Amino acid sequence: MTNPQETQEKIGAAAAEWVIRLGAENVTQDDRLRFEHWVSSDIRHRDAFNFASRTWEDLAGLKHVIGSETTRPVVDQPAPVLTFPVRRPARYGSALGLAATLLLAIGLGFLWFGNPFVLMSADYATAPGEQKTVTLPDGTVVDLGSDSALAVEFDQRERRVELLSGRAYFTAAPRAGSETRAFVVKSGAGTAQAVGTQFAVDNGDDDVEVTVVEHQVKVAVSGPSNAAGEALLSPGQAVRYSTDGILGQVEQKDVAQMTSWRRGKLIFNDVPLSKVVAELNRYRRGRIVITRDSLARLHVSGVFDTNDLGNALARIATELQVRTVSVPPLVTVLY
Q: For 241-264, how does the pLDDT look when each residue is reduced to its tens digit (9 = 90+)?
A: 998 888 999 999 999 999 999 999
Nearest to 185 by CA among 202, 175, 177: 202
**What average pLDDT does the segment 162-172 reach?**
96
pLDDT, mean over the chain:
78
State the DSSP H helix or E strand holding residue 266, giving kind and residue range, or none if neither: strand 265-272
Omega within 30 of 0 (cis) for the link into 329: yes
State the pLDDT confidence band at 9, using cuts at 50, 70 and 90: low
Which percentage of the chain shows pLDDT scores above 90? 44
Q: Which domains does the chain have, with CATH numbers?
A: 8-109 (no CATH), 121-248 (2.60.120.1440), 264-334 (3.55.50.30)
101 and 40 Cβ atoms separated by less than 8 Å? no
**Cα–Cα distance for residue pair 168/149, rounded to 1 Å:** 9
Checking if the pLDDT of 139 tops 50, the result is yes
Question: pLDDT for 181-234, tens place per residue?
Answer: 999 999 988 999 998 789 999 998 789 999 999 999 999 998 665 566 899 999
Residue 24 is predicted with a pLDDT of: 62
Lowest mean pLDDT among 26-35, 48-57, 268-277, 323-332: 48-57
Burial classification of residue 252, based on how many CB atoms lie within 10 Å of its CB (0-12 exposed, 13-18 middle, 19 or more buried): exposed
pTM for the model stands at 0.69
Highest mean pLDDT among 24-28, 48-52, 215-219: 215-219
Q: Which residues are within 8 A (CB) of 103 and not within 5 positions of it... i.e. 6 or more apart?
A: 327, 330, 331
